[in-house]
Structure 1
């Protein structure tokens, strides 16, 4: 399960319906062009929290059908509705996903015992491995080393998608739990995380920047830090331009520039203005 995983985008039509043709094209692009090791399906980048349970299931089905066994698949099943999380965990396990993942429960100020019960409830329902999705900036859930240790006592919890800038905690987790998988979740900090011996990364921009992400990991592993810094700098130039223009919308426009039917974002995400579409195409010309 080590390696680089794209946080997969989903193509939607103008009415917010799944564009199956476009989704399959995005999947193939990630496998054939970005040459990633796996896909992280129905995470934030897939606009997961804007779609229905049935749409989530359909996306899981389409991706598995398109991928087969070509690369590893991780299904993000986390939800504020624990019944939905369990249902999706069972559904994707039956489909043959290699692992499930679940964002920490958010919005309400859940205490750690509630967070722990959430993960254990999901895992009691399936025979599959789980990767914690920790993104404190969006969930408000900050866990310390001891709490990660308590979660890792469940042998089915095999690792964490660590989307936080706390490299002290990341180092402590790496040292304390050498057998658990750690995936970096911040694309702009990939090099900084790589020197702490992470097992891989899961990133939104890998949809358009997967090859550079692999270069960063490989150069870091080889100790070629100056070269790695140059690639990270180029990556961060791309990321800064994308963020300034509209993250998910811009990545989709960049994919369209490459002939991929990446579609639209679901409301309440807005459409790009004409000049922003032009900037997205310029970013694609420069970096893809």
Structure 2
């Protein structure tokens, strides 16, 4: 039986708003979260890749998680990424997350020192055993150099505390194998451009950088897929991908802040060494925003027509 804690929800991989001095802007974070949930976002994933988690201090990560729980106020689950370079720091973040009321915690493998797979498993296991919270393994091999779906993590995937895998990888074969071998887990799509293909192999929800920017399209795709309207679902995926492609061209994390700010308040630039957007990039993204609004309106109009047939 699949653990239904996360369900088929669409989670925003939330960005972390920054003030001009690169300090975390918790007021802007609160405004962004409230606006996204009002628009239909169904869950929050904070301090991950999109949230610049590895560039934040331990104290900043704790304050972001607590702010997200407070603003969500039970409207949506909040998953906090607590991956850290040391096991001790990850445990401290996990303990604080539990105290804050976080729904679940998530981790990437530790980086830099070339740890063996057993080393990484022990790191994960120490955190899982230290704090009684649901746990989501974060598979993002293009950043970590390690693909959890290729094996070696069976001990973790069988633990009752592990409720899902956030699969941010183009390896859909590996994702399908996890789904077949561990049917109790939720396989959560992490690449927005693969949402429909991931659903087709049995993935459930999604946690993505552009979910908050274009939640209307993700919801429409899910409705069409559930109704077996595959042609319609493919059309919406193509519209999602138009936005993804344009954002990646400008630097996806900075682009997510620029576009996400249009739904709430300005969210600032990324923390260095991630690059800031220049004026030309912002101008191009303004055009992306206009096309996105056209795609959202077009998709809604199609659904109105279909409902009248």
The TM-score with structure 2 as length reference comes to 0.89
Kept in 2: contact 1:40–1:75 (CA 8 A): yes
| Uncovered stretches (5+) of structure 2, i.e. residues with no partner | 1-5, 294-309
How far apart, CA to CA, are the structure 2 residues paired with 1:144 and 1:264?
Answer: 33
Q: In the comparison of the two structures, how many residue pairs are matched?
A: 287
Q: Sort the Cα spacing of 1:145 and 1:218 in 2 relative to 1 into closer, same or farther, 3 A.
A: farther
Matched, 1:88 2:93: yes
How far the C-alpha of 1:259 sits from its partner, in A, is 4.7
Matched, 1:231 2:236: yes
Compute the RMSD of aligned alpha carbons. 1.4
Q: Sort the Cα spacing of 1:259 and 1:130 in 2 relative to 1 into closer, same or farther, 3 A.
A: closer
Counterpart of 1:100?
105
How far apart, CA to CA, are the structure 2 residues paired with 1:39 and 1:257?
Answer: 18
Kept in 2: contact 1:5–1:38 (CA 8 A): yes
How far the C-alpha of 1:107 sits from its partner, in A, is 2.4
Matched, 1:157 2:184: no
How far the C-alpha of 1:4 sits from its partner, in A, is 1.0
3-state secondary structure, aligned to 1:133:
strand
How far the C-alpha of 1:255 sits from its partner, in A, is 2.6
Deviations 1:37-93 (A, max 9, x none): 210011010111111111111111211111111100111101112111000000001
How far apart, CA to CA, are the structure 1 residues paired with 2:231 and 2:220?
Answer: 12
Deviations 1:81-106 (A, max 9, x none): 21110000000011111111111222
Kept in 2: contact 1:75–1:100 (CA 8 A): yes
From 29, 32, 36, the counterpart of 1:26: 32
Counterpart of 1:272?
277
Task: Between 260-269 and 9-18, report the one with greater CA deviation.
Answer: 260-269
Matched, 1:200 2:205: yes
Matched, 1:122 2:127: yes
Kept in 1: contact 2:81–2:105 (CA 8 A): yes
From 167, 171, 174, the counterpart of 2:172: 167
Written as runs of structure 1 = structure 2, the 5 A alignment for 1:203-282 is: 203-282=208-287
How far the C-alpha of 1:256 sits from its partner, in A, is 3.0
How far the C-alpha of 1:32 sits from its partner, in A, is 0.7
| Uncovered stretches (5+) of structure 1, i.e. residues with no partner | none
Matched, 1:4 2:10: yes
Task: Between 225-234 and 242-251, report the one with greater CA deviation.
Answer: 242-251
Deviations 1:158-179 (A, max 9, x none): 1100111111111111111111
The TM-score with structure 1 as length reference comes to 0.95
